[in-house]
Amino acid sequence: MVVKLLPAPSCSNLTVRIKLFVDSKGAHNVSNAPGASTLRSDARRNVDRIRHAAVQVFREQGFSAPLEEVAAAANVSKATIFNRLGGRVGLIDAVIDDVVAAELRAVIEDARSVVEVRERICSYIGALRDLQYRLPAVNDVLLQEYRDSEPLLALCRVGSTFHDSLVADGRAAGVLVSGLTSSDFHALARDNALALKHGGRPPRADYDRRTAFVIGGICRSARQLA
């Protein structure tokens, strides 16, 4: 009996090639394979659901909210958050603008537009403390809770730089109490953040009354300026 050996197929003749990659939103996809488009769209839908859920949960509870709650709200597993966005820090980076950055920057820009220095300082303190009360993630930014998040640290630096300019302008205009420094101004914001984060929120009326005390303790009164 004669056995005829057939040549092995060349790799160049293989028609199926699989390519694994990660897209810009963190979704893993398979291309050039049956069902690749379905997998890609499913992954993107997962990321969109996670982002939407994270914005809601983080706005309500701050950036330290349990990831299990984000996963449940997005109808995905906690592991999916790590697979798609790299965990808590990656998730913070992905949603920080929608959670807190836009509002905090708006408070700063609104204060910049106030011409009279004393009024600028008073309006900013009131607006910042209001935001701290309503939006727990602001306190995570002021406390630099997640130092591996560059967008969070960058936002904190924006606030610190503005605080420095407020104190410099206030001292130049003579509207601040004697001896107040930029470090004092930063500490007041951080102390309030610590109290709200770890001590709970007091009744709104009590909080607003204390805000008036803070402003009165920092800025010289109109009578003192006369």
Domain edges within the chain: 20-86, 97-226
Q: Which tens digit of pLDDT belongs to each residue from 96-151?
A: 999 999 999 999 999 999 999 999 999 999 999 999 999 999 999 999 999 999 99
Q: Supply angle C-alpha 46, 33, 23, rounded to 5.
A: 40
Which superfamily does CATH assign the domain made up of 97-226 to?
Tetracycline Repressor, domain 2 (1.10.357.10)
* pLDDT above 80 for 174: yes
Verdict on whether the full-model pTM lies above 0.95: no
At the topology level of CATH, where does 20-86 sit? Arc Repressor Mutant, subunit A (1.10.10)
Confidence of residue 40 (pLDDT cuts 50, 70, 90): confident
d(CA 160, CA 162): 5
| CB of 131 closer than 8 Å to CB of 59 | no
Element (DSSP H or E) covering residue 21: strand 19-22
DSSP 8-state symbol, 100 = I
* Tens digits of residue pLDDT in 45-79: 889 999 999 999 999 999 999 999 999 999 999 99
